Amino acid sequence: MNDERYLAALRTYWKANSTFPSMAKLCGVVGLSSKSSVFGLVSRLTEAGYIQRLEGRIAPTKKFFARPLLGPVRAGLPQPATQEEPELLTLDDYLIEAPNRTSLHRVKGDSMKDVGILEGDLLAVEHNSPNKPGDIVVAVIDEELTVKTLRMGADGKYFLEAANTAYAPIHPKASLELLGVVVGVARRIGR
């Protein structure tokens, strides 16, 4: 797309302000010299599905937040690079199937490190969904919140198990409430 640098400028502005500037100020943001050029840009980005007009202003669409999903990258031996047309994908598309029943939780601690859930990770947790032993869940056990693997003992009672041998299983003394099943993990690296 020839308008990629303008789209990049709009994304940068949105990230900083969570809104778009007025049409009058848009010239300076994208680096165009005339309002007619800006109107042409807005028209092209609207036709391409990146933005929409709402009540006289422009607003982002889901596609505006999407990123290119390039071909697979091998974690073993290198492979030849491909030149396929990338699919556009948002993290919500990838991690969240039921947006009205999903929340995010930041992880504290290392009790789930052996399943790849580390301190600082964001968990996508789907609420009101079926769960079974073996699911990683966010639960309130005896009035304390935690993320663990749901297990069922030989006695038919549920308990929670860490994914780190330094932590013992947790058997409820009074109550166990499952808040949701972990359906995804997001992590920033190197920051």
Q: What structural domains and CATH numbers belong to the chain?
A: 4-65 (1.10.10.10), 99-186 (2.10.109.10)
CA 109 to chain centre: 21
Residue 21: predicted pLDDT: 86
3-state secondary structure of 28: helix
Residue 2: predicted pLDDT: 79
Residue 45: predicted pLDDT: 94
Q: Which residue has the higher pLDDT, 124 or 56?
A: 124
Query: What are 141-168's pLDDT values in tens digits?
Result: 999 999 999 999 999 999 999 999 999 9
**Any idea which residue has 């013992």 for tokens?**
168
Strand partners, 89: 67
> Does residue 26 carry a pLDDT above 80?
yes
> Does residue 27 carry a pLDDT above 70?
yes
**Any idea which residue has 């596609």 for tokens?**
63
Indicate the Cα dihedral angle 97, 118, 111, 98, nearest 10°: -10
> Does residue 1 carry a pLDDT above 70?
no
Query: What are 87-127's pLDDT values in tens digits?
Result: 888 888 888 888 899 999 999 999 999 999 999 999 999 99
Tokens at 78, concatenated: 């290198």
> Does residue 189 carry a pLDDT above 60?
yes
Residue 89: predicted pLDDT: 86
Residue 71: predicted pLDDT: 77
Residue 104: predicted pLDDT: 95
**Any idea which residue has 């297990």 for tokens?**
151
> Does residue 33 carry a pLDDT above 60?
yes
Percent of the chain past pLDDT 90, that is, above it, reads 63
C-alpha 38/C-alpha 116 separation (Å) is 46
Q: Which residues contact 146 (CB under 8 A, 6 or more apart)?
A: 111, 138, 139, 140, 160, 170
How high is the mean pLDDT of the chain? 91
Active site residues: 111, 148
Confidence of residue 187 (pLDDT cuts 50, 70, 90): very high
